[in-house]
Structure 1
Amino acid sequence: MLKDWFYYTRGQRRTILLLLIVILLLVGVVIGGGFYNVSNCVTVETLDIADSLYAKVENDRREWKGGKTYAYNKNHNTSPSVRGYTYKKSAEASGYYGTKSRKDTSLLYPRQEKYTSKFIIDVNSADTLILKKVPGIGSVISRNIVNYRNRLGGFYDVRQLLEIRYVDSTLLDWFEVKSGLSRKINVNKAGMDELRNHPYMDYYKAKAIIDFRRKRGPLSGMSQISILGEFTEDDILRLSHYFEFE
């Protein structure tokens, strides 16, 4: 075979080589076309997956806070009725029924009963349920009153309610002090934290008492506290209800 090849002239050999190259190119084109088809299949499959993900995102985006959802249709027609946004009503989740009337929530959030006439309340014993029955007092104010009462150890005057946020003078007529204080501070035994955490105290007042005890021993009464520069006359008057010296 190899010897027969040299019997061809140079021009014939060049022609044969050119034909072989052309054949190889045609084979490459055919094979490349197969890969192209495969890549097209992969591309179509990828687009289908992307379209389904887009459909889910669009469906989630169209959900309302009230619970209205729309079914997505990827046939993007111009008419809203053909576009595939089918309205779905979710009565339990949204509270809408047929028309756009809101669900009755009276069973979930019953109306708070209020006193219709003056009912005098003991400010030192009333809990939040009783306090919320007073017109003008809701959950926030009732919690503020109870929390402040716990920090004080009780009220000795109804006007102390004015020290609480959101409480105004119109509410004072509903209250009176019937029971005594629930807690007092033993000045000679209380530590720094117990002293300074009282609403009428602070770090410097508490430190002055601790330093006095350390230097001079136990205190005998408010007269000794009054000589401390950190306390004003108003402080002495208010704290006299909460301090004991046993």
Structure 2
Amino acid sequence: MPKGSLENHLFKKGVQPMAWATRIQIAVDVARGLSFLHSLNANVIYRDLKASNILIDSKFNAKLSDFGLARKGPSGDGTHVSTRVVGTMGYAAPEYVASGHLTPKNDVYSFGVVLLELLSGRRAMGDETMGGIEGTLVDWARPFLGDSRQFSRIMDTRLRGEYSKKGAQAASSLALRCLCCDPKNRPSMVEVLAELEQVQIQAQRNTPRTIMEQHIKRTSTPSPHKLSSFA
């Protein structure tokens, strides 16, 4: 993919920081891909969602890649699939790590981590910008998520405050729900996608005209390539 991975754009030194509208567009693209995988017809659990597996095309559309760990989800009356625990530390849902019980809600947790990375510009594990705190980004950020007076503390300083405060608060609250310790209380990816699309609309309204024209130009023409969320 021409623009490489999301990991490079968020964490590689010397790369120009992504604008708020671009970050939300990427989150929407990823949510759309996972929503499709979790649909009744597909019933696939991705199982290894992380920044390095999200690839970016020339117009900053995001695509899911590397389906080597994907697994067909539970069928019939089954509530989960029992598997050997695989994935990447910092992104895997705690109940999956503890039991090996695989459900679509495991992907929802991983998406919450990626959304948190998009908001904060920090890595899922042991980021130096967290003041040398050992542990996960989730552990560091959880106290601030969903708090209208505290959520701004997690936001990427490279955005220089150029983002919708209402949209950022909505996104941080959504991330908190995705990261809920009880998987039953996490939203489905369909719900996540619907909420992010509303944040995206607001982000576009608050984007300067010249940037907006470029954004509309690259997202307004439907095509099989644009509609695909997979590399």
TM-score w.r.t. the length of structure 2 is: 0.20
TM-score w.r.t. the length of structure 1 is: 0.19
Q: Which has the higher contact order (CA 8 A, sep 6+)?
A: 2
Structure exhibiting the larger radius of gyration computed from Cα positions: 1
